[in-house]
Structure 1
Amino acid sequence: MLLLEARWRLLGHVLRRDRNIPANKAMPFYFSDNKRARGRPQTTLPVTLNNDLKKLVATKLELTTQTDLDTLRLIAEGRPKWNALVAEIRKTAEAARSDDPASGQL
């Protein structure tokens, strides 16, 4: 769970930074209405983060549009709320992993 938690903490750090840094300048590209290229869909960080959010039952958060990104940016500005969101994502992932018989735990 260290990797999952680390990527969410990094996202919170980036969302709290100035919008002129390269990481924040690149984010609108992922959420524009550009047509997807042919072939296998790429697994990008926003896709992975959205998949993490979809697993949360208690919230209706997604990461598919610029509005969703702005909502997450507002949550990230309040560190207690962001830390609670990260903890909830981690708990959900741990619960899903413990329920999975292929996880290798006995």
Structure 2
Amino acid sequence: MQVLEARWRLFGHVLRRDRNIPANKAMLFYFSDYKRARGRPQTTLPITLNNDLKKLVATKLELTTQTDLDTLRLIAEDRPKWNALVAEKRKTAEAARSDDPASGRL
């Protein structure tokens, strides 16, 4: 759970920063229409974050287009909303883990 929460807090920090920093430029490049290489797709931060968002029941958020990135950027600028999103994500992950019998808990 700590990794998941740290990943989302870092992502919020990056979204609130200036758009000219390398991390934001990389996000813009990722969502541009460049041709990806053949083969197995790499597991990137946007893919991981999108998978996390899909698991949230209460929101319809995704991270697949530039518009989705801008929507998350607006949420990140409002810190109470962003912290609520991170907390909801953490609770969803904890609930899923406690419901999973293979989670390693006895």
TM-score, normalisation: structure 1: 0.96
Distance in 2 between the 1:100 and 1:37 partners? 36
In structure 2, the gaps of 5 or more residues are none
Distance in 1 between the 2:63 and 2:70 partners? 10
Q: After the TM superposition, which of the residue ranges 30-39 and 90-99 deviates more from structure 2? A: 30-39
Distance in 1 between the 2:4 and 2:12 partners? 13
Q: Offset of 1:35 from its aligned partner?
A: 3.0
Q: Offset of 1:32 from its aligned partner?
A: 1.9
Q: After the TM superposition, which of the residue ranges 91-100 and 76-85 deviates more from structure 2? A: 91-100
Q: After the TM superposition, which of the residue ranges 70-79 and 21-30 deviates more from structure 2? A: 21-30
Distance in 1 between the 2:105 and 2:35 partners? 42
Structure 1 residue ranges (4+ consecutive) displaced by more than 3 angstroms after TM superposition: none
**Number of residue pairs matched?**
106
RMSD between aligned residues: 0.8
Identity %: 92
TM-score, normalisation: structure 2: 0.96
In structure 1, the gaps of 5 or more residues are none
> Cα deviations across residues 38-85 of structure 1 (Å, max 9, x unaligned)?
211110000000000000111000000000000000000000000000
